[in-house]
Structure 1
Amino acid sequence: MADSLKAHVDISSKGADQFVELYYKVFDTKRSVLNRLYRDSSAILWNGNAFSGITPFAEFYNKLSPSEHSVNTYDCHPLPTQAGPNTPGSIIVNVSGTVRYSNEKKDRLFSQSFVLSPDPTNGSFYVWSDCFRFV
């Protein structure tokens, strides 16, 4: 049991490392493909604006000025799954950092929480829930 939990924590940690690097790189440099990380069922809350699904969110974020994120810290942990110890479960990823949009003079602090869920169609993960907030 302890070995199984350690394995899930290790997998979650590696997944979070890869996800955080990829997510902010894509957001800042290739925003037009950011939608590939979400699904139509994704729940998104961006600084008080709720979006159900990727299409309205993509329309919103594609109107934002170019950005540059700097991640200060992030943490993650696996969520238990009912499917068994060898089945990947979801991962919660909490991120904090700064972002500067090209139309602003100062960096802004942000906090962002993701729930990454396994995608049974391709073995990867997608953003099931995304909650972004300026601090």
Structure 2
Amino acid sequence: MAATNPDEVVAAFVKHYYSTFDSNRSGIGQLYREYSMMTFEGQKFKGLQNIVNMFNSLPFPVCHHDIATVDCQPYGPPGGVLAFVTGTLNVPGQEHPLKFSEMFNLIPIQDTFYVLNAIVRSNKA
């Protein structure tokens, strides 16, 4: 794998991740592996199937993410990237969007990246 620019990697990842989440949530599983781990609002999920099941069990079938900020740093193995995202989650029928923060630890594999770790929290006022 050629040297990568973390800003470019994360920009492409964030665009793909949230557009997939918003349009085809079950397709988000392609970005995780069996040894991936996600903490969602304090609950821990380990492994591809458990993470996909968690996404599919969310109480809103449709949503839209608006991204406010994206920060990143090189991290972990050569080519790995740590990303931190903030934004709002808009769910039809809810009066106000929900603010959220999400962290990703992206690991290079062949010519792509997978999510090794993710942490998601809503920012409730």
Q: Same fold (TM over 0.5)?
A: yes
Q: Which has the larger radius of gyration?
A: 1
1:107 to 97, 112, 121: 97
Match of 2:73 in 1: 77
Distance 2:45 2:92 in 1: 24
Deviation at 1:63, TM superposition (A): 2.3
Name the counterpart of 1:126.
114
> Could you say which residue in structure 2 is the equivalent of 1:51?
45
Calculate the TM-score normalised by the size of structure 1. Answer: 0.82
Letter in 2 for 1:37: L
Range moving further from structure 2, 29-38 or 96-105: 96-105
Change over 3 Å in CA distance of 1:96–1:27 after alignment to 2: same
Q: Which amino acid aligns with 2:96?
A: K
**Amino acid paired to 1:77:** Q
| Amino acid paired to 2:57 | K
Tell me the matched-pair count.
Answer: 120
Equivalent AA in structure 2 for residue 17 of structure 1? A
1:60 and 1:100 map into 2 onto residues whose CA distance is: 19
Whichever structure has more helix as a proportion of its residues is 1
**Structure 1: which 5+ runs fail to align?**
1-6, 82-87
- Once the two structures are TM-superposed, the CA of residue 102 in structure 1 deviates from its matched residue by 2.9
Give per-residue Cα distances to partners, 1:38-90, cap 9 Å, x unaligned.
Answer: 10100100111110012112112112211110000111111254xxxxxx421
Counterpart of 1:16 in structure 2 is 10
**Structure 2 residue ranges without an equivalent (≥5):** none
